[in-house]
Amino acid sequence: MRYSNKLILLTLSTMALILVGESHKSVPSDEEEEEMEKLLNYLNKPALKSFQTEPGYILDCIDIQKQLAFDHPLLKNHSIKLKPTIIPKWTKDNNTSHKSSSLPFRQDGISCPVGTVIVKRIILEDLIQAQRLKSLGFNYPGQISSKDKKIDLTGHHFATISYKDYHYGAKGNINVWNPNVSPDQFSLAAMTVSGNEGFQSISAGWIVYPGLYHNNQSRLFTYWTADGNNKTHCYNTLCPGFVHVSTKYAIGMLVQPVSIYDGQQYQLEVSIYQDHVTGDWWFVLNNEPIGYWPKSLFKPQGLADGASAVFWGGEVYSSVKEKSPSMGSGHFPQEGYKKAAYVNGFKIITDITKEVSSPLASALKTVADSPNCYNVKKILGVGEYWSRAILFGGPGGCTF
Highest mean pLDDT among 130-134, 171-175, 384-388: 171-175
| Structure confidence at residue 57 as a pLDDT band (50, 70, 90) | confident
pLDDT score for 107: 60
pLDDT at 61: 94
From CA 238, how far away is CA 131, in angstroms rounded?
Answer: 10
Residue type, 397: G
Q: Domain coordinates of the chain in residue numbers?
A: 1-43, 51-393
Whether residue 33 has pLDDT greater than 50: yes
The answer to whether 348 and 356 have CB atoms below 8 angstroms apart is: yes
CB atoms within 10 A of CB 5: 9
Q: Is the pLDDT of residue 15 over 60?
A: no
Strands 309-317 and 266-274: unpaired
pLDDT tens track for 190-220: 999 999 766 899 999 999 988 777 788 999 9
Question: What pLDDT, on a 0 to 100 scale, did the predictor assign at position 20?
Answer: 35
Cα 272 vs. chain centroid, distance in angstroms?
10
Q: What secondary structure does DSSP assign to 54-93, as a single string?
A: TTS-EEEEEEGGGSGGGGSGGGTTPPP-SS-S----PPP-
The strand ranges marked E within 226-308 are 233-235, 243-244, 266-274, 281-285, 288-293
pLDDT at 3: 34
153 pLDDT higher than 80 = no
CA angle 46, 78, 352 (to 5 degrees): 125
Lowest mean pLDDT among 114-123, 167-176, 268-277: 114-123
Q: Would you state the pLDDT for residue 304? A: 93
Between 58 and 134, whose confidence is greater?
A: 58
Q: pLDDT tens digit string along 253-301?
A: 899 899 999 999 999 999 999 999 999 999 999 889 999 999 999 988 8
What average pLDDT does range 71-97 have in this prediction? 78
How many whole angstroms separate alpha carbon 270 and alpha carbon 129? 25
- State the helix-helix crossing angle for 124-136 and 30-43, rounded to 10 degrees: 90
